[in-house]
Amino acid sequence: MRFDIISIFPEFFTGPLDYGIVRRAREAKLVETKVHDLRAFTHDRHKTVDDRPFGGGEGMVMKPEPLFEAVESLVGVSGTGADRLRAGTAIVLLSAAGRLFRQEAARRFAGLERMVLICGRYEGVDERVAEHLATDEISIGDFVLSGGELAAAMVLDAVTRLIPGALGNEDSAVNESFSEVEADSERARHGSTTLTRSAVFLGTNAQSNRAGPRGAASDHVPASSQESRVVNYGILDYPHYTRPPSFRGWEVPETLMSGNHEEIRRWRRNKAIEKTLRNRPELLDGAKLER
């Protein structure tokens, strides 16, 4: 199995890949690991991989172009996405807003031929990467890291040890924590929230992900973010977008370029709830959902 890791700090993986089961699996040629510097896929002299978020707000957002180019150069398919990949390949975005990584997911990944792990940084990754490039968006827990490198190392380790031959005793991967699949409990965790609940939380103010034609203010990013800031009280973060406003026909939502702080705040709130409902519905049980 091959692992490709995309990061702006490739040197980080010098240690984690050189010890224990991962090292032995590499030496036995059961797995192959390649680490790629995202900045190698930029085309400006500053090797820029991030830009300011549309709609204002703190931090910077990772741009879509270098990430698309990096993944497509690795898998050898132009215009790739979840619907264009050949069977046996997963493009995984490490994100605090993703589905919780569980042993069942590790088993699924261990049956693949290849995984590409995208390590996010800064405030987040342009949502078009999650929507149109990644096959999976996963989180390793209910906490926030400075970047996806630690998460990628953990996922790689968890998957590697499930590959036949990686462990000295194959029963070791069977008779251990989380080794038994409980389909009913998985369905209960991920599928118990109903459409009615979604309609109540999202209301009539939810905006479409796809924006209309770009207006005159399309490049405007409000200088102040206070009016459009959203406090999520334990639910997932809202989607982030940065330049370019149009990428391969996928537009930044028009609301984020409107300059209307109240509309932006409401859009972000609704999208945060929508993403939580999709990826981590159990978090909504104790969330404060007042607008």
**Res 68 pLDDT > 70:** yes
Q: How confident is the model at residue 88 (pLDDT cuts 50, 70, 90)?
A: very high
| pLDDT tens by residue, 116-170 | 999 999 999 999 999 999 999 999 999 999 999 999 999 999 999 999 999 976 6
**Res 226 pLDDT > 70:** no
**Counting beta carbons within 10 angstroms of the beta carbon of residue 209, is it exposed (0 to 12), middle (13 to 18) or buried (19 or more)?**
middle
217-233 mean pLDDT: 46
User: In this predicted structure, what is the pLDDT of residue 203?
Assistant: 35
User: In this predicted structure, what is the pLDDT of residue 175?
Assistant: 52
User: In this predicted structure, what is the pLDDT of residue 96?
Assistant: 93
**What domains lie within the chain, and their CATH numbers?**
2-173 (3.40.1280.10), 183-286 (1.10.1270.20)
From the list 121, 127, 124, 134, the residue with the least C-alpha distance to 251 is 127
Q: Kindly list the distances between the CA atom of residue 53 and the CA atoms of 122, 132, 263, in Å, as whole numbers in the listed order.
A: 11, 19, 16
Higher-pLDDT residue of 56, 190: 56
195-222 mean pLDDT: 36
Q: How confident is the model at residue 259 (pLDDT cuts 50, 70, 90)?
A: very high
What single-letter amino acid sits at 178?
F
Which helix (H) or strand (E) covers residue 279, if one does?
helix 261-279
User: In this predicted structure, what is the pLDDT of residue 285?
Assistant: 83
Higher-pLDDT residue of 282, 220: 282
User: In this predicted structure, what is the pLDDT of residue 234?
Assistant: 80
**Res 185 pLDDT > 80:** no
**Res 195 pLDDT > 50:** no
Q: How confident is the model at residue 81 (pLDDT cuts 50, 70, 90)?
A: low
User: In this predicted structure, what is the pLDDT of residue 168?
Assistant: 72
Question: What proportion of the chain, given as a percentage, has pLDDT over 70?
Answer: 72
Rounded Cα–Cα distance for residues 14 and 141 (Å): 24
Task: Kindly report the average pLDDT of the chain as a whole number.
Answer: 82
165-188 mean pLDDT: 59
User: In this predicted structure, what is the pLDDT of residue 87?
Assistant: 77
